[in-house]
Structure 1
């Protein structure tokens, strides 16, 4: 009985260690992720890149010296979350309908977080308001 318990504890410990994010080099990111950063964040300096295995796919998170960060899906290399600690999400990244809606309904309020969801998009404003949009960029609701 003690051997089985010890085996289970060791297996759980090994699993938790392997599930921890690993630092990787920038060039390990999918090519389109690298291009996305170079195009939309040309002035940012990469502090580090972490790869995290989630279920059957990899997720990469790029941390910049400024405190800003971007997460990418490992298989496709598409961005999944952008968090800005300094400044707004670049306008070149925000879908037009979302940018237009936020600009007209929340003038002067910067989008500081943008993420893709199963239903579409979630945009976080500087005042803590979250705006939700469907996959076509149509507004669905807001929460605070």
Structure 2
């Protein structure tokens, strides 16, 4: 004996895949829209994560930030601090140092990793580090003489340079 579903049930069961496909397309559209969303807004320096506030107090005690921005880009929140001298520092959402660009002014030596300082002093005497950026597994460094160097962050060997 076979039980046949009613015509109503057969009709509803056949369109279930269509609803599932519609939900999948809607989710993909929302994800694509969120992927390109980026925004920046000014915040008070007191809204910086504690680690970032301590970093600034230690390395830039005499300077007051001109602007502090909180940015959301590529599903990450970052903070960027701009000074009146033209320098700016970027932090992760937890306040970890990510980048510092001081234009032509030297970066405080305590911020630059020792291996980078030693390499720059040996091969480019008299040149100061003016930009320092840590991305994934690499340190990118710009010197005051225009040289741009890249170092592996684990063993600190030179991975590239651009003059």
Aligning the two structures, in what range does the TM-score lie when normalised by the shorter sequence? Answer: 0.7 to 0.9
Structure 1 residue aligned with 2:97: 79
Structure with more relative contact order (C-alpha pairs < 8 Å, separation 6 or more): 1
Q: How does 1:126-137 map to 2 (within 5 A)?
A: 126-136=144-154, 137=156
1:87-123: per-residue Cα shift (whole Å, max 9, x none)? 2111000000000000110000111000002232000
Q: CA RMSD in A?
A: 1.8
Structure 2 residue aligned with 1:40: 59
Structure 2 residue aligned with 1:95: 113
**Pairing partner for 1:24 from 22, 43, 64:** 43
* 2-structure distance, mates of 1:21, 1:86: 26
Of structures 1 and 2, the larger Rg is shown by 2
**Pairing partner for 2:80 from 44, 61, 75:** 61
Question: How many residue pairs were aligned?
Answer: 129
Runs of 5+ unmatched residues, structure 2: 1-33
* 2-structure distance, mates of 1:90, 1:109: 13
When the two structures are superposed, what TM-score results if normalisation uses the length of structure 1? Answer: 0.82
- For residue 81 of structure 1, report the CA deviation from its aligned partner: 0.9
Runs of 5+ unmatched residues, structure 1: 1-14
Asked if the contact 1:67–1:86 (Cα under 8 Å) also holds between the matched residues in 2, the reply is no
Structure 1 residue aligned with 2:70: 51
When the two structures are superposed, what TM-score results if normalisation uses the length of structure 2? Answer: 0.73
* 2-structure distance, mates of 1:138, 1:78: 23
Structure 2 residue aligned with 1:116: 134
